Amino acid sequence: MSDKKEDTTRMIEKFAENYQKRVADLIEDTRKSLLGVKSLSSLRIKLHLALRKANDFR
C-alpha cells in the first residue's frame, strides 16, 4: 500500500513540474511576443493570440 501511495505522490509531483514548466514557457513566449509592439492595433492582435494560446494550453 505504501508503494502505491509513493507512486501516486511521484506522479503528482512530476505532473506539477511539467505543468509549471509549460506555464513558464507560455509566459516567456507571451513576453517575447509583446516586446516589439509599437501600436495599439498590434498590441491588440498580439494579446488576442496570446489568449488563444493560453486557452489551447488547458
Over residues 37-56, the pLDDT tens digits come to: 889 888 899 888 888 888 88
Give residue 18's pLDDT.
92
Over residues 8-31, the pLDDT tens digits come to: 999 999 999 999 999 999 899 888
Note the pTM of the prediction, 2 decimals: 0.66
What is the rounded CA–CA span in Å between residue 24 and residue 21? 5
- DSSP code, position 1: -
Sign of CA dihedral 8, 11, 58, 28: positive
pLDDT grade, residue 34 (50/70/90)? confident
The domain spans of the chain are 2-57
